[in-house]
């Protein structure tokens, strides 16, 4: 099965959140199941820099593990670029073939006018969306579709184009209106809250026919919706957990697309994400102070000491340390943490927040830290090594998300013996088993869940967690249950391969 995995980010080359982690790991898991999968990624400045610094031939597959940890896994297999012609208002580009994350072949779209700049993949350094995002991701979508057509400039032709989120959402529309389309398409929704809505005047520059601009197509309240294009035209729709697949078929989590998703329920599947168990492994993690496994959990204490020191918290081995690493946005329920903070530190417990996002939340968590010196601490920034130390050093991990399509940190936390405390929504509900007398007795308990996204419910769950923490046999059981769970990508990869086979057959 030949699959083109089109994505706007892929760790460790470029990552703003969970999509980066998924695209950095799932393709390799698909390859391990025998799929001939290749990644398609925009050539942002840092991606080009990372790939340019690689030497061809000098590194072999055996280097891979170490490379990943150091964040420089891409090894090029130098080949001259292939030209992709301009299309309507979308400029011409050059397609470079390299080795991407996990040693998976990767096509990088080199188009300096659209991608060669400082700042993030979606926004400039001040947090404003790039003004030309429609064209930047129109190009990504267009190339994804073109590679699935007879007119592709490459010899290699995918049977399935696997799109991810709105940034690749136009690909199924381009395929739908191509006269020589060969590939089927799949769209995975990682977050329905981001839809890629642009003015209707961009239809012609994007090279899409007026016929596509209808209620049954990509028109959304008079605008162009990249994500709706994919939901309307893709052969299959997946999202990143079974519960989220149900939640998005009604208000409020359908974000206006619940009707369309309900109509297409027969091709909609929820597949819980996996995690990269090589990168997130407490027994091998290069970013933590003391490595450990289920039988050496005592060593976790050294990581807690290091985290307390790093964050300026009191060095106290006994006090439970509660942490969160997250985008600081309304989705993630950061305001609930701020609201509950003074009660949490009063339990007593220590609180660590690491994240970036909305200015108001950044200031609010900084204010919490300032109010409770030694007991609460905040780091505003994106710090991957610190995220690993937090997983290893904290006693429990908070995820009070209002909605969470999959969530990854609750799985990292279980693997690190750091029971998560989560709002029972989406992928959090699907991957954390609440600690009750029954689930403790049958050995399934792995964390704490709460039903309402409120500060009180969050506090109540943290309180239950702290009570369990004070009972070492219970706590060890919770930690070991979580560490024993298989969160690897292999089960999810098998489900994707089934879906590819189904849509390819139909195409």
Binding residues for ligand ADP, rule: CB under 6 A, are 17-18, 21, 325-327, 354-356, 382-384, 387, 406-409
> Which residue, chain included where needed, has tokens 């409120």?
454
User: Taken in order 207, 210, 211, 215, is the CA torsion positive or negative?
Assistant: positive
Query: What is the token pair recorded at 499?
Result: 């879906």
**Residue 64 vs 332, nearer CB to ligand ADP:** 332
Binding mask 238-277 for ligand GLC (x = CB under 6 A): --x--------------------------------x----
Beta strands in 132-207 (DSSP E): 160-164, 184-189, 197-198
Number of residues lying near ligand GLC (CB under 6 A): 14
Tokens standing for residue 266: 């027969």
Measured between alpha carbons, how far is 17 from 382 in angstroms, rounded to an integer?
A: 10
Alpha carbons within 13 A on the beta-carbon side of 308: 21
CB 176 within 8 A of CB 61: no
Token pair of 483 as six digits: 């560490």
The entry of ligand GLC, ligand ADP, none near residue 383 (CB within 5 to 8 angstroms by kind) is ligand ADP
Q: Which residue, 93 or 338, is less far from ligand ADP as judged by CB? A: 338
Cα–Cα distance, 233 to 145 (Å, whole number): 12
Residue 327 binds what, of ligand ADP, ligand GLC, none (CB under 5 to 8 Å, by partner type)? ligand ADP
For the CB of residue 273, give the shortest distance to ligand GLC in the complex, in Å: 5
Could you say which DSSP state residue 235 is in?
Answer: S
Interacting partner of 326 out of ligand ADP, ligand GLC, none (Cβ under 5 to 8 A depending on kind) = ligand ADP
Residue 502 tokens, joined? 């189904």
- 404 lies in the site for ligand GLC, by CB under 6 A: yes
294 binds, among ligand ADP, ligand GLC, none (CB under 5 to 8 A by kind): none
Torsion of CA 249, 255, 256, 259, to 10 degrees: -10
State both tokens at 450: 């709460």
Residue 35 vs 325, nearer CB to ligand ADP:
325
The stretch near ligand GLC (CB under 6 A) out of 14-22, 45-53, 77-85, 429-437 is: 14-22
Shortest Cβ 240–ligand GLC spacing (Å): 4
Handedness of CA 121, 271, 188, 496 (dihedral sign): positive
465 binds, among ligand ADP, ligand GLC, none (CB under 5 to 8 A by kind): none
Name the residue number minimizing CB distance to ligand ADP: 18
Residue of 10, 11, 14, 19 interacting with ligand GLC (CB under 6 A): 19
240 binds, among ligand GLC, ligand ADP, none (CB under 5 to 8 A by kind): ligand GLC
Residue nearest to ligand GLC (CB): 18
- Report DSSP letters for 252-263, one per residue: TTTTT-HHHHHH
- What distances in angstroms separate CA 190 from CA 159, 162, 205, 268, 386, one per listed residue? 22, 13, 27, 13, 24
405 binds ligand GLC per the rule CB under 6 A = yes
Residue number with CB closer to ligand GLC (136 or 190): 190
Binder among 249, 406, 413, 431 for ligand GLC (CB under 6 A) = 406
Which lies closer to ligand GLC via its Cβ, residue 20 or residue 320?
A: 20
Check if the beta carbon of residue 284 is closer than 8 Å to that of residue 370.
no
**401 with 428: CB under 8 angstroms?**
yes
- DSSP 8-class letter at 162: E
Residue with smaller CB distance to ligand ADP, 54 or 409: 409
Stretch 272-311 residues interacting with ligand GLC (CB under 6 A): 273
> ∠ CA 382-62-286 to the nearest 5 degrees?
35
Please identify, among the stretches 42-50, 60-68, 281-289, 402-410, the one whose residues bind ligand GLC according to the rule CB under 6 A.
402-410
Q: Taking CB under 6 A as the rule, which mask of x and - marks residues 162-201 in contact with ligand GLC?
A: ----------------------------xx----------
The span from the CA of 91 to the CA of 136, in Å, is: 10
Tell me if 108 contacts ligand GLC by CB under 6 A: no
Q: Two tokens at 226? A: 């990249």
Q: Sheet of 223-225: strands edge to edge? A: 197-198, 223-225, 219-220
CB of 256 to ligand GLC, least distance (A): 17
- We find the least distance from the C-beta atom of residue 239 to ligand GLC, in angstroms, to be 8
Q: Which option in ligand GLC, ligand ADP, none does residue 140 bind, with CB closer than 5 to 8 A by kind?
A: none
Instruction: Considering only residues 408 through 447, tell me which ones interact with ligand GLC, judged by CB under 6 A.
Output: 408, 427
Q: CA angle, 115 as apex, 384 and 58 as ends, to 5°? A: 65
User: Six-digit token pair at 139?
Assistant: 């190009």
Residues 6+ apart with CB under 8 A from 70: none
Query: Which parts of this chain interact with ligand GLC (CB under 6 A)?
Result: 17-19, 22, 190-191, 240, 273, 404-408, 427
């Amino acid at each position: 099965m030949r699959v083109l995995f089109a994505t706007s980010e892929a760790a460790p080359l470029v990552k703003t959140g969970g999509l980066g982690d998924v695209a950095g790991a799932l393709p390799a898991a698909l390859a391990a199941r025998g799929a001939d999968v290749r990644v398609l990624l925009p050539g942002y400045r840092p991606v080009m820099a990372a790939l340019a610094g690689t030497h061809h031939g000098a590194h072999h597959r055996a280097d891979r593990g170490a490379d990943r940890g150091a964040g420089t896994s891409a090894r090029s297999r130098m080949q001259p670029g292939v030209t992709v012609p301009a299309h309507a208002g979308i400029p011409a580009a050059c397609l470079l073939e390299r080795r991407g994350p996990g040693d998976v072949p990767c096509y990088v779209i080199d188009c300096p006018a659209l991608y060669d700049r400082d700042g993030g993949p979606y926004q400039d350094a001040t947090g404003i969306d790039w003004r030309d995002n429609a064209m930047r991701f129109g190009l990504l979508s267009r190339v994804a579709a073109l590679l699935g057509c007879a007119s592709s400039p490459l010899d290699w032709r995918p049977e399935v184009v696997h799109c991810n989120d709105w940034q690749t959402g136009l690909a199924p529309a381009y395929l739908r209106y191509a006269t020589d389309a060969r590939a089927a398409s799949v769209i995975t929704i990682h977050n329905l809250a981001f839809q890629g809505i642009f003015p209707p005047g961009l239809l012609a520059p994007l090279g899409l026919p007026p016929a596509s601009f209808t209620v049954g197509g990509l028109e959304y309240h008079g605008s162009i919706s990249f994500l709706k294009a994919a939901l309307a035209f893709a052969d299959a729709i997946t999202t990143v957990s079974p519960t989220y697949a149900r939640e998005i078929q009604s208000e409020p989590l359908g974000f206006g697309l619940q009707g369309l998703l309900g109509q297409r329920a027969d091709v909609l599947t929820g597949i819980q994400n996996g995690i990269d168990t090589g990168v997130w492994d407490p027994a091998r993690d290069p970013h933590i102070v003391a490595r450990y496994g289920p039988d050496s959990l005592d060593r976790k204490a050294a990581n807690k000491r290091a985290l307390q020191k790093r964050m300026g918290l009191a060095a106290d081995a006994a006090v439970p340390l509660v942490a969160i690493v997250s985008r600081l946005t309304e989705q993630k329920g950061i305001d609930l943490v701020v609201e509950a903070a003074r009660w949490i530190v009063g339990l007593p417990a220590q609180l660590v927040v690491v994240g970036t996002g909305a200015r108001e939340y950044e200031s609010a968590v900084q204010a919490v830290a300032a109010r409770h010196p030694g007991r609460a601490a905040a780091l505003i920034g994106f710090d991957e090594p610190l995220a690993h130390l937090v997983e290893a050093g904290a006693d429990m991990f908070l995820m009070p998300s209002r909605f969470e399509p999959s969530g990854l940190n609750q799985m990292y936390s279980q693997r690190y013996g750091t029971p998560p405390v989560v709002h029972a929504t989406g992928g959090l509900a699907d991957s954390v088993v609440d600690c009750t007398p029954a689930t403790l007795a049958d050995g399934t308990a792995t964390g704490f869940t709460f039903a309402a996204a409120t500060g009180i419910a969050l506090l109540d769950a943290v309180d239950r967690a702290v009570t369990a923490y004070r009972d070492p046999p219970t706590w060890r059981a919770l930690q070991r249950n979580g560490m024993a769970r298989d969160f690897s990508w292999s089960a999810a990869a098998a489900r994707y391969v089934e879906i590819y086979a189904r849509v390819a057959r139909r195409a």
